[in-house]
Amino acid sequence: MAPSPALRCCKRALNWIPVLFINLVVAWSYYAYVVELCVFSYLVIFHAFLAIFIWSYWKTIWSKPASPSIAFALPRAEKELYEKEQRAEMQQEILKRVAKNLPIYTRTAGGAIRYCDFCQLIKPDRCHHCSTCEMCVLKMDHHCPWVNNCVGFSNYKFFVLFLAYATLYCVVICATVVQYFIKFWTKELPDTHAKFHILFLFFVAALFFISIVSLFSYHLWLVGKNRTTIEAFRAPVFANGPDKNGFSLGFKRNLVEVFGDQAKNWIFPVFSSQGDGHSFVTRLVHIDPEQVNSILQQNGKIPANGEPNPCVLVNSAPHTEDSSKETAGTRLCFGTISFRSSRLHLCVFFLFQMCLRRSL
């Protein structure tokens, strides 16, 4: 049964408690640093880091999660058929017909079209339903209680910057307070009402730094691999099976996909991520690159130290069932050479090689 409106309202109010806690800690740290410590030479750099930290934090909180467009909803006729149909296999056939005209290349673990019964739409690649936000979120990473918001395509850059500037904020506090912390601890300074604030400020900043820097490092790794937190735990499934590196395009391009192609915008919490969140560039690799290298070296097509340059498939055009089956066979491009692999092609190729060697 669906929760009552009063219960849902209370739940939404309780979800703001972690956000309120963080804001109270930041407000207290401001009082302890500016009022109790009050070192004028430190105030400029402190306020600079505080301002950009608050900016990125509130952008993460108030950026509405991006949801799929109406193009991913079932047309009225297909929706009626889907709702009337009781057999799961026939429902999948209806979804497949609709998905032919959509840029969708990932499937469920069982190979089915990913469909959300709550939002009643076909899920785009990397999209997931958030039970807390009660909506499907494009390129969903996770639901963060500390910002009371889903971290996804619309605010992932803001979230990473929030972690970065929160780490730097803690570093600034620890670096400038440590000398006064030592003096109060060794009783070189007289006991005043500021002693508690200075000692506690250093401990809180150090503890937050340790916890935040580990999370920040993890998300930097995810950015470099072009994965979400969900994909790090469960690899996306393509037509040929799970592929944890299916969306990885190399470190530089992965970085640009999140932060944009203008380096001047990287440090500011302004939206500059590439794409629309509905489709993503994918790299489908179905055979071992070293095996392909050895085969092509035998043919003299590439030098001994050459490396293959895999094709990049852009999910931006509608595809049909036949075309999706075609992509199940690998297409790896090496300059102007297109090598399409399947087990049958490889077997024929090796047999041809053996016959050629024997004839020589």
- 337 phi and psi angles, rounded to 5 deg: -100, 125
CA distance 129 to 116: 7
355 tagged catalytic = no
Q: Give Cβ neighbours of residue 41 (< 8 Å, ≥ 6 apart).
A: none
Please say whether the beta carbons of 134 and 25 come within 8 A.
no
Question: Which token pair is 267?
Answer: 């440090």
- List, as own/partner pairs, every contact residues 345-351 make where C-beta atoms lie below 8 angstroms and the sequence separation is at least 24, other chains included: 346/287, 349/295
* CA atoms of 299 and 294, how far apart (whole Å): 9
3-state class (DSSP) for residue 128: strand
Q: Which two tokens stand for residue 3?
A: 């929760």
Strand, helix or coil at 188? coil
Question: Rounded distance, CA 257 to CA 160, Å?
Answer: 13
Residues 6+ apart with CB under 8 A from 230: 128, 140, 141, 142
The alpha helices in the chain, defined as continuous H runs, are: 5-14, 17-30, 40-62, 76-84, 88-99, 156-185, 194-225, 229-233, 251-259, 289-299, 321-328, 343-359
Q: Which of 127, 136, 144, 170 is catalytic?
A: 144
Tokens, residue 184: 């109060």
Tell me the C-alpha distance between 123 and 155, whole Å. 19
Burial of 163 (0-12, 13-18, 19+ CB in 10 A): buried
Which residues are annotated as catalytic? 144
